[in-house]
Amino acid sequence: MYFDTALIVGEDFVPLQDLLNKFNTVFVVAENKPNLRARNLVYRDFESSLETLPTISVFLIQEKYNSSIANYLPLLVKSKASLVIWNSDKLDREKIKPLLNYKYKRISKQYEYHFWKPTI
């Protein structure tokens, strides 16, 4: 089963290969790009415009980039995408405030992954 599109912001996302098997397209925005090539894998720089991305199904962001989540909110809200924040035991309330303002709710936490969904 294939989902449409995933957007990953961060490095060292271990299940990247699994995502490539589940999504039609996987966009990766990272400083250090993994040495991996696939037909459905697209790398982007942090400076590149994300407004041109298609609607995304899931958005994955590494906790160290969580402070820049406001930059991705228009795309996230437009797509009504699920959100996963990884590499964090506890999230700083100030950093997640924009998510709460846009009616996102944390639905579960498993290990170092926080899963969010839009409530509207």
- Residue 91: exposed, middle, or buried by beta-carbon count in 10 A (0-12, 13-18, 19+)? middle
Task: Kindly give the parts of the chain with pLDDT less than 70.
Answer: 1-2, 47
Q: Which three-class secondary structure state does DSSP give residue 18?
A: helix
Residue ranges of domains in the chain: 3-118
**Cα distance between residue 118 and residue 101, in whole Å:** 11
Q: What is the pLDDT of residue 27?
A: 92
Q: What is the pLDDT of residue 35?
A: 82
Q: What is the pLDDT of residue 2?
A: 66
Starting at the edge strand found earlier in the chain, the sheet holding 23-29 runs: 41-44, 23-29, 3-9, 58-62, 82-86, 113-118, 104-110
Q: What is the pLDDT of residue 90?
A: 80
What's the CATH code, domain 3-118? 3.40.50.150
- Residue 74 CA, chain-centre distance (Å), reads 13
**Cα distance between residue 33 and residue 89, in whole Å:** 24
**What is the pLDDT of the chain when averaged over all its residues?**
86
Amino acid at 113: Y
pTM, to two decimals: 0.87
